[in-house]
Amino acid sequence: MRLGNITLALILLAIATTATVFGSTAMNNTVSYFFILVVLVVALGIYVGNTGIVSFGHPAFMAIAAYLTAILVMPAARKSALLPNLPDFLSTFSAPPLLGIVITVFVVGLIGAGIGLAISRLNGASATIATLGLLIVAHSLLVGGTTFTRGAQALYGIPKLVSPISAAIGAIITIFVADWFKHSRWGLAARAVREDEAAAAASGISIKRNRTIVFCLSIAFTALGGAMFALHLGVFSPKEFYFTLTFSLLAMLIVGGASSTAGAVVGVAVITMITEVLRQAEPGFSLGPIQIPALFGLTTIGISVALILTLYRRPEGIFGLKELDDFLPFDIKPRVYKRSVINTPRPTASQTPKSIRVQSLTKRYGGVTALDAVSIDLQQGEILGLIGPNGSGKSTFLSCASGIQRFDEGEVWVHDTQMAQGNPVAYAHNGVARTFQNIRLFARLSVAENVSAAMVSVPGPANSPTVADILTRVGLDGMALRTASTLSYGQQRRLEIARALAICPDFLLLDEPAAGMNSTETDDLAALIMSLRDENGLGILLVDHDLPMILRLSNRVAVLNEGKLIALASPEHIRENPEVAAAYFGEGQSTLSE
C-alpha cells in the first residue's frame, strides 16, 4: 500500500463526506458524477497509459455496461412496459444493485477480453482506428437493437442509487487497482512494450497476450463506471456514449497525464471545473456594459483549448509520468520484482554444452541477396566474432538469428529446438538474448525497471541473479532509480547488456556494442564480455567494426562479404587470410595485419 494512494483516497473521501453533510442535492450530483468520471478516466488510463495506444472505444463498453446494469436492476414491471421484447430470463429477473454491478463488470470484462484479443494483433495507429470503428459499431447496435434498448430514445426509470460516498468508494477501488496493476509484472511489461516493441519482444515479453490482459482489465473497470453511470443518472440514451463523451474522457486523461493514476484524477478535476464554469457562461451573460452572446458548445471549446494547450506545452500532461509518491517527502526504494522460478533448471554448461546452429540462411530484399546460404554455429562458452564491410549482412544475420526478421530459406536451431520465424519472444524464452545496434532501451522507465521487465517475463532457475546483482555486474550499481534516457551513452550500452542478462540467457548476441565508445569504455566492455564467457559460460556472438577488439576477444571469427560467408576460422588465420583483406581493403593488400 503506497502513501500517495492513501493520501488520494483520504482526499476523495473527505470531498464525499463534505458533500454528503453540507451539500445540496445538485452539489451531491456533481460530486457523484465527478467520482464516476474518475472511475472511467482511471480505467481508460489503465489501457492508454500503460500501452501508449489511444482508445476511442471505451465508451462503447461503458454503454453496454450501462444498458446491462439498467436491464438487470430495473423493477420487472417497468421493464415489461419499456422493453416488451426482452427475453424472459431478463424481463422477469430483477437483481439487487450490487449483484447487477458485479454481473455487469464480469460480462463486459469478458467481452473486453474477446475484443482485446483481436485489437492486440494491431499496432498503435491501426488499433486506435479499430477502436474508433468499435465505437461506431456499438452505437449503431444500441440504436438498432431495440430488443434490449429503446433505440435512439432514452431508457428511463432506472433506480438512482449512487451517493457521493458509494461513488467515492468505486473511485478509490479503481485507483488502487490501477496503481497496483501499473506496477505489477503485467503493467511493467506493458509499459516496456509502450517504450519499445522490438526490444520488449526480444526481452521475452509476449506483446499480444500482454495487451489483451491490459485491455480486459481496463474494460472491466470501464464497465464499473458504466454501471455507476446508469445508477447515477437513471435515464440515458445511446448518444450519451458517443464522441462527445469519448472526447471529454480522453481530454481529462491527457490533461492530467495518461501514464499517471493521480494525474488522471487531477485531469478529471481540471476539466470538470472548466466545464462547470463555461456551462454557466454558455447562454450568454453581460460583462458590465458588454453583452456576451450565447455560444452553444462553449464547453467543447474550453475542453479543446485545454487539450491543445496541454499537447503544445506539456504533452505528457500535468503529472507527466510521476505519481503522488514522487512529490511526497519520503524515500523511494526501487520496487523488487520476482522472477518466476522454473523447477527443472536448464542444464548448465558443465552438462551438455548448447549451441545455436544457423543452417544455409538466405535472405533477399527484392532483388538483393543480403544473406546467401550462410551457415554458422555458436557454442556455449565461446566468443564468435562476426565482421565484414558495411552492408555485408551482419545486422541482417543477427536479426534473422534472433527471430526479429523473417528469412527466405534456411533453418535456425537453438540447442535441439527448430525456431519458428519472426518470433523473437520464443528466442528469449529459449535462452537467446540480444542487444541492438541503435540502442533500444525502455527510455522512460527506470534502470531497475528496464532490467525487471525482462526478468519477470522469462522464468529462470531459483538461484539466478537479482536485478541488483545484474546492475552491479555491468557497473550500474547505485543507478537503479535513474530514468534510462538520462544515462550517458556508455551507460545505456551497458544497461542494454544488463537487460539481456536478465533473462538468464545461454547466448548473447551483441550488435556493435562498442560503437561510439571511447577507448576506456571499450576496454571495460571487453572485460565484461570476456567475463561473461569465462565465468558464466555464455556463447557470445559479437558483431563490431572494432577489428582489434574482435581479434583479441574472439575464439573464432566469421567474415561476411556481400552476403556470403567467406571465412570462419581462428583470429590468427583470419588475420592472414588474403580473401578477408581483399574484402576490406580491395585487391593488393594481402593480409589484415599489414
Q: Which residues of the chain form contacts with other proteins (CB under 8 A)? A: 52-54, 118-119, 121-126, 128-130, 132-134, 136-137, 140-141, 143-144, 198, 243, 247, 250-251, 254, 258, 295-298, 300-301, 303-305, 307-308, 311-312, 315, 395, 399, 404-405, 436-438, 511
Burial label for 425, CB within 10 Å (0-12, 13-18, 19+), is buried
E strand or H helix at 332:
none
Q: How far is the C-alpha of 209 from the C-alpha of 117, rounded, in Å?
A: 8
- Containing 162, the helix (H) or strand (E) segment is none
First to last CA, the chain: 66
Q: How far is CA 520 from CA 102, 491, 544, in A?
A: 61, 13, 17
Pick the closer one to other proteins by CB: 300 or 466.
300
Q: How far is the CB of 422 from other proteins (least distance, A)?
A: 9
Concatenated DSSP letters of 192-244: HHHH-HHHHHHTT--HHHHHHHHHHHHHHHHHHHHHHHHHHHS-B-GGGGSHH
To other proteins, the closest distance from the beta carbon of 327 in angstroms equals 24
Choice between 105 and 219, CB closer to other proteins: 219
By C-beta, is 72 or 111 nearer to other proteins? 111
Residue 295 or 321: the one with the smaller Cβ distance to other proteins is: 295
In the bound state with other proteins, the residue whose beta carbon lies nearer, of 288 and 293, is 293
Rounded Cα–Cα distance for residues 374 and 467 (Å): 37
Q: How many residues belong to the chain?
A: 594
Pick 297 or 478: Cβ nearer other proteins: 297
Q: How far is the CB of 284 from other proteins (least distance, A)?
A: 12
Task: Give the shortest CB-409-to-other proteins separation in angstroms.
Answer: 18
CB of 305 to other proteins, least distance (A): 8
Q: For residue 141, give every residue at least 6 positions away whose Cβ sits within 8 Å of its Cβ, in sequence order, or none.
A: none
How far apart are CB 270 and other proteins at their closest, in Å?
15
CB of 146 to other proteins, least distance (A): 9
Taking the complex as a whole, how short is the minimal distance between the CB of residue 135 and other proteins, in angstroms? 9
Least Å distance, CB 475 to other proteins, is 25
The owner of cell 462553449 is 298
Number of H helices, E strands in the chain: 23, 12
CA 370 to chain centre: 33
Q: How far is the CB of 128 from other proteins (least distance, A)?
A: 7
Q: How far is the CB of 555 from other proteins (least distance, A)?
A: 26
Q: Name every residue whose Cβ is closer than 8 Å to that of residue 525 and which is 6 or more positions away in sequence.
A: 493, 494, 513, 514, 517
| CB within 8 Å of 83: residues ≥ 6 apart | 71, 91, 147, 148, 149, 150, 155
- Amino acid, single-letter form, for residue 487: L
Q: Are strands 556-561 and 564-569 parallel, antiparallel or unpaired?
A: antiparallel
Cβ-based neighbours of 446, under 8 Å, separated by 6 or more: 334, 480, 481, 482, 483, 484
For the chain, the 3-state helix, strand and coil shares in percent, each to the nearest 5, are: 55, 10, 35
Determine the Cα–Cα distance for residues 126 and 119; give it in Å rounded to an integer.
Answer: 9
Q: What is the 3-state secondary structure (H, E, C) of 133-151?
A: HHHHHHHHHHHHCCCCCCC
Which residues does residue 409 pair with via DSSP β-bridges, in sequence order? 362
Work out how close the CB of 349 gets to other proteins at its nearest, in angstroms, rounded to a whole number. Answer: 30
